[in-house]
Structure 1
Amino acid sequence: MALNATPLAPLARLTGVRRRRGAVQALDGVDLALPAGQVTALLGVNGAGKTTAIEVLLGLQPADSGEVTLLDRPPSDLDARRLIGVMLQQAQLPERLQVGELLALTRSWYPQPRSVADCVALAGLDGLLDRRYGRLSGGQQRRVQFALALCGRPKLLFLDEPTTGLDIGARQQVWRAIRSLVADGVGILLTTHYLEEAEALADRVVVLDAGRVRADGSVGDVRAQVAQRRICCTSVVPAEVVASWPGVRTAKRIDGQLVVMAEHAESVLRRLLDADPQLGDLEVQRAGLAEAFVAMTAPAEPMSDSKQEAA
């Protein structure tokens, strides 16, 4: 690469975007960039602003302020829209049409569509082309929706909860397809409630909370913003006792083991060992993406009387 080479511009961008929906500030100064050849996972609890961010990027609703670009054009630009693929949570498709007819119809909208064979292979639609869409199971319909989003050979793909309702095999099929598309340079914006899915697929994670970006970085970067550790051990100390200690977020028993999420693992470990010198099977791990996400988006809780006394 040349020494003076500059990074490629993102395929889509929100810059300082604000959007109010009624009394709710759905987006409050959001910055978001979607690069080519990467999966960006947009995470947040219901009402965090994920759907609004996607709809603003797609031109389905306007930004009140800030800048929105889609492939260096306004989101309403037809040429830009022809270069994206979209799979939303809700899709209204003609139930009487066969899957093959839906693919043919969608492919007809693009000058150089992806082949039917490629769509079938990527989405796992073998044996479904002659089936009416309305006769398919919910999981099969989601796979058809995924295939339709790929018909135009998109440069940028919006996947809103793409694997909801899929069994394990179908989910892994979609994961393989996503990795293949990214390897070909496609940029993907992924929203998912399956945090293990974001951990497995995402190059970048953006956490939205109450319309603001709380974290933006790699999975490792997001984890590093949370000092929590998971402590697993066999111990006679009751979980409810440990839960009252300072620095402990949660403590519970899972399959006979005491599992503790703690912000100050060292002090909690010392106290555990003092309380139970016979403690065994000790394992301490860094918090995963799920724990980091919960910590970032959980409302602040007032300190309980027992923790105040313990402190």
Structure 2
Amino acid sequence: MKSFGSVRAVNGIDLTVRPGEIIAFLGPNGAGKTTTIDMLLGLGKPDSGTVSIFGRSPRAAIAQGHVSAVLQTGGLLKDLTVRETVRLTATLFADPRPVDEVLERAGIADIGDRMVVKCSGGQQQRLRFAMALLSDPGLLILDEPTTGMDVTGRRDFWNAIRADAARGRTVLFATHYLDEADAYADRIILVRQGRIVADGTAAEVKNLASGRTIRATISGVDESELAAIAGVETVERHGDSYSLTTRDSDAVARHLFTATDAYDVEITSHGLEDAFIALTTEGSAS
């Protein structure tokens, strides 16, 4: 538990992270993600309950090099080169990994002589990643690591993270980009109002948003007629095309084919965004 005045930011999150997992920690603003990460990094203490990483307190685990973090901003001196930055950071550890090794693993060995101020946002984040690898941590925590990056920067950053995680490192990341969670996470945890509301693989979490969407081009009907079809939950119109959500897509599709002139019919399962909205918005089940 963690509260700030009358606001309870974390309301009983019970979470066990297994070695080697890549975990996406998702939730709307104010759900308690950052507060939880702060406690994992020893930047805050729970009002009740405990936080233990590798059998140690967060601060002890970090001091011994078992935990590292890649945050959104900060931590870089713009008048140093990339290699000088990593070399300087390495002096903070008793037994750091070689500088050239972490530059290679972060995918920035080719820009080691570049001034930090000349690096793009994505390159600077990969530099922070290289710095985080110096202690060879068992757990790497990423807090919104690709905010503000362009598509190429995001892709390159995640390729570097994924390649490194294949070595067995555990990664916990918070992000607002649901496509990143869908593409890279082995496990997704959704939080709402300081509580976990879903915990599983991307497929398992998606299945919690039950139903499917049928998209079709139909003429000569209006939204009220389509809404009256048994099993249809919502209807949206886009010109002559309609999107219908339903928990019985077979029956609804059968009706469209036999009772309307529907064509270009497409049936899709709900995605991670649908599950996110269904499970984390006000009024959803806890």
| TM-score in terms of structure 1 length | 0.80
What is the match of residue 244 of structure 2?
260
Report the aligned-residue RMSD.
2.7
Say whether residues 1:229 and 2:199 are aligned partners: no
Q: How does 1:137-156 map to 2 (within 5 A)?
A: 137-156=120-139
| CA gap 1:50/1:266 in 2 versus in 1, 3 angstroms | same
What is the match of residue 219 of structure 1?
202
Match of 1:169 among 138, 144, 152: 152
Q: Larger relative CO (CA 8 A, sep 6+): 1 or 2? A: 2
Residues 251-297 of structure 1 deviation map (CA, whole Å, 9 limit, x = unaligned): 2539x7433333454565466557x6110122222211111111111
Count of residues in correspondence between the two structures: 282
More strand by percentage = 1
- C-alpha contact (below 8 Å) 1:27/1:212 kept by paired residues: yes
What is the match of residue 233 of structure 2?
248
Return 158-167 or 231-240, whichever deviates more.
231-240
Paired-residue identity, %: 37
What is the match of residue 269 of structure 2?
286
What is the match of residue 119 of structure 2?
136
Letter in 1 for 2:3: R
Say whether residues 1:34 and 2:29 are aligned partners: no
Aligned-pair distance for 1:193?
1.3
Aligned with 1:190: secondary structure?
Answer: strand
| CA gap 1:155/1:280 in 2 versus in 1, 3 angstroms | same
- C-alpha contact (below 8 Å) 1:122/1:173 kept by paired residues: no
| CA gap 1:247/1:214 in 2 versus in 1, 3 angstroms | farther
Say whether residues 1:205 and 2:188 are aligned partners: yes
Residues 175-214 of structure 1 deviation map (CA, whole Å, 9 limit, x = unaligned): 2222222221110001111111111111111000111100
Match of 1:300 among 280, 283, 286: 283
Q: How does 1:82-97 map to 2 (within 5 A)?
A: 82-97=65-80
Q: For 1:259 and 1:144, how far apart are their aligned partners in 2?
A: 44
Residues 19-42 of structure 1 deviation map (CA, whole Å, 9 limit, x = unaligned): 002321100010112211110110
| TM-score in terms of structure 2 length | 0.87
Aligned-pair distance for 1:94?
2.2
| CA gap 1:233/1:155 in 2 versus in 1, 3 angstroms | same
- C-alpha contact (below 8 Å) 2:54/2:61 kept by paired residues: no
Aligned with 1:34: secondary structure?
Answer: coil
What is the match of residue 309 of structure 1?
none
Residues 77-130 of structure 1 deviation map (CA, whole Å, 9 limit, x = unaligned): 156551112011232422222221110011222233233333223333244323
| CA gap 1:238/1:299 in 2 versus in 1, 3 angstroms | farther
Q: For 1:116 and 1:94, how far apart are their aligned partners in 2?
A: 17
Q: For 2:235 and 2:71, how far apart are their aligned partners in 1?
A: 35
Letter in 2 for 1:227: S
- C-alpha contact (below 8 Å) 1:42/1:189 kept by paired residues: yes
| CA gap 1:137/1:74 in 2 versus in 1, 3 angstroms | same
- C-alpha contact (below 8 Å) 1:73/1:80 kept by paired residues: no
Aligned-pair distance for 1:250?
5.9
Return 71-80 or 221-230, whichever deviates more.
71-80
Residues 145-167 of structure 1 deviation map (CA, whole Å, 9 limit, x = unaligned): 22222222111000112222333
Q: For 2:50 and 2:197, how far apart are their aligned partners in 1?
A: 20
Return 94-103 or 208-217, whichever deviates more.
94-103
Aligned with 2:164: secondary structure?
Answer: helix
